[in-house]
Amino acid sequence: MATSGAGGAKARPVKEAPAKKAATAKKAAPAEKAPARKAAPATKTASTKKAAPAEKAAAVAVKKVKAPQTHAGLVRQARRINRELAEVYPYAHPELDFRNPFELLIATVLSAQTTDLRVNQTTPALFAKYPTPEDMAVANPEELEEILRPTGFFRAKARSVLGLSIALRDDFGGEVPGRLEDLVKLPGVGRKTANVVLGNAFGVPGITVDTHFGRLSRRFGWTTSEDPEQVEKDVAALFPKSDWTMLSHRVVFHGRRICHSRKPACGACPIAHLCPSNGIGELDPDKARKLLKYEKGGFPGQRLNPPPDYPGQPAPPLGAS
């Protein structure tokens, strides 16, 4: 009986051992589960965030257009872009208000370092006071500067328009010449200004390389140059001369409305399927539509007196809210 009792006494600690292990296991379990619960959402969020750009990048890669590798291929691509831009902007036009070659010449000189809108808001008062080269040639410099103040750099611009008005009066009988070599001799007039005047006042084809035209020409792969004269030569080689003036208007219209400098609206661009630079801007269609300007975004245009076929609203006069 003593042996049996001794065996019973030893059995008690044997039964307690699993209880201790179970207790230890129960205490350890929450420690293992706690980090697992915190880690799960973190891993899920990280993978979700990483996956989204990857999917977008894949979509961009699919839509990316390969730049033409031959001159013939580049000509075909360039001319197709021009045809499609003609469908998007059938109303493309010079965005400076003018009634004659003299007004267009002066307005184009004033458009340097400012918007066409600001020039259009300024020229009504200017031409009301000085309607001809003869009138402007004898203008009081201080009074001229005050009228031109809203366009910026008004002192330099006043000197330019005074100088070119005197030259028109003295050297060209008060008429704007219709040849590029004569126009570029006038104070403040370069190739860009000369081509604007020739193309829109005299019907002489010309390519106008402003900041928008140069930027889009590089994005389309038509040129790699930053030099305006070289851009003009490179683009001229891709199109018949008869297309030059309207091509300039369409490309500038597109650059001002959709293909912006800092954030192009690629997701709302009607020629994205032809553009080697598709994807450098906003790809989300809804966000891209919010970037559209002028009539494409439901806003007024730049001209106070736009052509009859312009689908947008005219610009407000100077000082209007």
**Binding positions:** 259, 266, 269, 275
Apex 180 CA angle, 178 and 183, nearest 5: 75
**C-alpha separations of 97 from 14, 19, 75, 197 in Å:** 103, 95, 33, 12
97, 116, 157, 192: which is the annotated catalytic residue?
192
97, 116, 210, 234: which is the annotated catalytic residue?
210
| Spatial contact of 257 and 212, defined as CB atoms under 8 Å apart | no
Active site residue 171: no
| Spatial contact of 63 and 279, defined as CB atoms under 8 Å apart | yes
Residues near 234 by beta carbon (within 8 Å), at least 6 away in sequence: 217, 222, 223, 225
Amino acid at 136: M
**Residue numbers belonging to the annotated binding site for [4Fe-4S] cluster:** 259, 266, 269, 275
Residues near 232 by beta carbon (within 8 Å), at least 6 away in sequence: 191, 195, 207, 209
**C-alpha separations of 249 from 85, 168, 200, 213 in Å:** 10, 27, 10, 9
Q: For the chain, how many residues are written?
A: 321
Cβ neighbourhood burial of 196 (10 Å; 0-12, 13-18, 19+): buried
Distance between CA atoms of residues 163 and 184, nearest Å: 13
Active site residue 192: yes
Residues near 108 by beta carbon (within 8 Å), at least 6 away in sequence: 96, 192, 193, 196, 197
Residues near 187 by beta carbon (within 8 Å), at least 6 away in sequence: 159, 160, 163, 164, 167
Residues labelled catalytic:
192, 210
